[in-house]
């Protein structure tokens, strides 16, 4: 019931925001050449569909984001575990990783274009680089937050290290780990779409770029809303995965 009420409040907020935008554009406070009225978006979506700029770009950006996040998890989870298991390594590299996380990795895209070429390998690699650091840091943070008494209980039951990690440490650290995965997903999607815009290749970022240079403002905003939709779908999928893996 509370979840449905929260969804209703969210939809109501969006409806009020759309009405506000419609009003200020209709009254002439903002030019429709800068911010189109929400009433023009259905026609913009229909235009994108007719030009075959809807389904394929969504699937392309969705697939790249999932691949980049998956690679970030494959590398970041073991690295975060190692930094927790060996505190000296964690103390040595955590500041460097934090500093690297603040760096605009996407600005290195000319280098990646030279190495990988103008293709999906480049966009996925940029998404991976932007997403792996939060996975590493949040995995370590989540494992450090596991109460020592839980680990001691595992040892008292003569559990091996693998069993202790699988049955005790990872479930207890799951909130922190999934926070890292959500951050990785968001940063990967943002960087992938941004790179698609810059190099005019791929999915929704390329659509935004095309509409921008054609000065099709409603269609450009429609493509931006599709990026938000892809983000919501991915985050919802990750939330469902967390509910399935975490103990109730």
Q: At what angle do helices 120-144 and 55-85 cross, to 10 degrees?
A: 40
Most confident of 39-43, 51-55, 186-190, 236-240: 186-190
What separation, in Å, do the N-terminal and C-terminal C-alpha atoms of the chain show? 19
Per-residue pLDDT at 18: 81
Distance CA 134, CA 123 (A): 18
Q: What is the pLDDT of residues 2-18, one digit of tens each?
A: 667 767 777 788 888 88
Query: Residue 104: is its pLDDT beyond 90?
Result: no
Tell me the CATH class for 36-245. mainly alpha
Task: Spell out a b/e string for 30-45, using b for 16 or more CB atoms within 10 Å of the CB, else e.
Answer: eeeeeebbbebbeebb
Per-residue pLDDT at 85: 87
Distance CA 10, CA 177 (A): 27
Q: What is the pLDDT of residues 38-69, one digit of tens each?
A: 888 888 888 888 888 888 888 999 999 999 99
Nearest CA to 182 among 134, 149, 228?
134
Per-residue pLDDT at 35: 85
The residue among 169 and 122 whose pLDDT is bigger is: 122
Kindly report which listed range (17-21, 71-75, 222-226) carries the lowest average pLDDT score: 17-21
Nearest CA to 69 among 228, 241, 224, 198?
241
Nearest CA to 185 among 108, 130, 120?
130
210 contacts 53 by C-beta, under 8 angstroms? yes
Mean pLDDT of 108-131: 90
């Amino acid at each position: 019931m509370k979840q449905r009420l929260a969804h209703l409040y969210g939809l109501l907020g969006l409806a009020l925001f759309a009405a506000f935008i419609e009003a200020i554009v209709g009254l002439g406070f903002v030019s429709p050449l800068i911010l189109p009225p929400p009433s023009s978006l259905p026609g913009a979506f229909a235009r994108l569909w007719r030009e075959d700029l809807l389904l394929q770009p969504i699937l392309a950006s969705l697939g790249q984001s999932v691949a980049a996040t998956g690679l970030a998890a494959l590398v970041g989870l073991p690295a975060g575990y190692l930094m927790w298991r060996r505190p000296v390594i964690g103390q040595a590299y955590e500041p460097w990783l934090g500093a690297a996380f603040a760096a605009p990795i996407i600005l290195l895209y000319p280098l990646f274009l030279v190495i990988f070429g103008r293709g999906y390998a480049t966009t996925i690699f940029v998404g991976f680089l932007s997403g792996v650091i939060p996975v590493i840091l949040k995995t370590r943070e989540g494992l450090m937050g596991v109460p020592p008494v839980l680990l001691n209980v595992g040892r008292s039951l003569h559990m091996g290290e693998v069993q202790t990690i699988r049955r005790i440490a990872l479930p207890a650290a799951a909130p922190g780990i999934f926070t890292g995965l959500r951050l990785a997903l968001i940063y990967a999607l943002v960087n992938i779409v941004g790179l698609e815009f810059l190099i005019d290749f791929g999915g929704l970022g390329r659509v935004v770029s095309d509409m921008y240079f054609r000065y099709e403002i409603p269609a450009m905003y429609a493509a931006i809303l599709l990026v938000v939709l892809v983000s919501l779908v991915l985050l919802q999928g990750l939330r469902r995965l967390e509910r399935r893996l975490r103990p109730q």
